[in-house]
Amino acid sequence: MTPYENFSFFIWMLVPIVPAILLGLLGVPGRIRSLWLICSTLFMLWVIYRPVTSLLQATGFFFLSYLIVHFFLVFERSERGKQAEILKPAYYFTILVSILPLILVKLNPYASILGLWQSPIGFLGISYLTFRTVGTVIEIRDGLIKEVKFLDFFSYVLFFPALASGPIDRYRRFIGDLDKKLNRKEYSELLADGINHIFRGFLYRFIIAYLINKHSLAWLNTVHTGMATFQYMYVYSFYLFFDFAGYSAFAVGVSYILGIRTPENFNKPFIAKNIKDFWNRWHISLSFWFRDYIYMRFVLNSAKKKRFKNKYTTSYVGYFLLFGLMGIWHGTELQYIVYGLYQALLMTGYDWLERKNKTLHFWKKGQVWDGLAILVTAHFVFFGFLIFSGRLF
């Protein structure tokens, strides 16, 4: 059962939520709430993963992830692990093993066609479980995580409100919430905010997105004229936002009710004044994950080793790496690859124009210019979503 897809899921979710509310309003210690979260996770995994083969795959993936994290943590703290020439290959090997199941899933359609293999792995949320595991390994390597307890890691990786499509939390932040004791007043405020998010989710996903799909998108999918494609670009963009932002609002709202302040995923993305601003507002947890763990590390490592002649070239190559991988993560179909390259071009172009504007001052400041910037940025974004939709291919 896909989370937040139909009303029956919300009925099932009352089982973990109602006791969580009672525990929160009673102001019980954080560790008691965390034990209930473990029980809730076990129950909701049974609800979400049908048939049982999916449940077994998700469970097996979790145990593999924990073993990877545990052994890397032990190795990193050992005498051999303190030797840079040994630790570095071990680190990259650990990352590779962590992402290997996801790679197999992404390549499975092509492998099946070529008769190479048929991946037995493929369950709801494998991407986001992978992101959480890899992020934990990286922060262990950075010395930010010194201990990973089994039950804590279980609650973090398989946190059911954000299991299917995020938001992507960070291990240290998540565990801080898990351990925190909330008094009745603090929890009441969190509960109210959580309920507000859930109502917003219903408004966005089950009313606005539903109406957009029923009265516009469904019809436009059957018409393939130039004007219909132009209209489709706008309609699909708003449908995508309200559907995905609605899902994220549900995930954040349920998380709050369980006492976990899962980070927001959207912040008024269509009022962004430039493409960088947009990616600070759209699918925030994913874009920040790629920024922190891929782009910044590539840029810093390249600067240290002087791979490119200047910092701007380094940054531009980093954009293509970041968005190229993000595009492939969405899927290996052509539209996703082109979408990733398109976003990299936008980021590179904006960075170049921003630098030129410092000397030429062709883009002014003021409300009119800000409004124009929002309008231009929105249309670049909308065209990107048109690419993403696959309608042009």
pLDDT tens-place string over residues 198-235: 999 999 999 999 999 999 999 999 999 999 999 999 99
CB 83 within 8 A of CB 115: no
Q: Does the CA dihedral 295-298-303-306 come out positive or negative?
A: negative
pLDDT of residue 114: 63
Q: Is 224 an active-site residue? A: no
Residue 196's contacts (CB-CB under 8 Å, 6 or more residues apart) are 253
Given 70, 197, 283, 330, the catalytic residue: 330
pLDDT of residue 113: 63
The H-assigned helical ranges of the chain are 7-25, 30-48, 52-77, 84-114, 126-141, 150-157, 171-179, 184-201, 209-212, 218-220, 226-257, 275-279, 284-290, 296-305, 311-330, 334-360, 367-389
Short-list 127, 121, 89, 109, CA closest to 325: 127
pLDDT tens string, the chain, 393 residues long: the values are 899 999 999 999 999 999 999 999 988 877 788 899 999 999 999 999 988 889 999 999 999 999 999 999 998 888 666 676 788 888 999 999 999 999 988 887 776 666 665 666 789 999 999 999 999 999 999 999 999 999 999 999 999 999 998 899 999 999 999 988 888 999 999 999 999 999 999 999 999 999 999 999 999 999 999 999 999 999 999 999 999 999 999 999 999 999 999 999 999 999 999 999 999 999 999 999 999 999 999 999 999 988 988 899 999 999 999 999 999 999 989 999 999 999 999 999 999 999 988 887 788 888 999 999 999 999 999 999 999 999 999
pTM over 0.85: yes
pLDDT of residue 275: 98
pLDDT of residue 81: 61
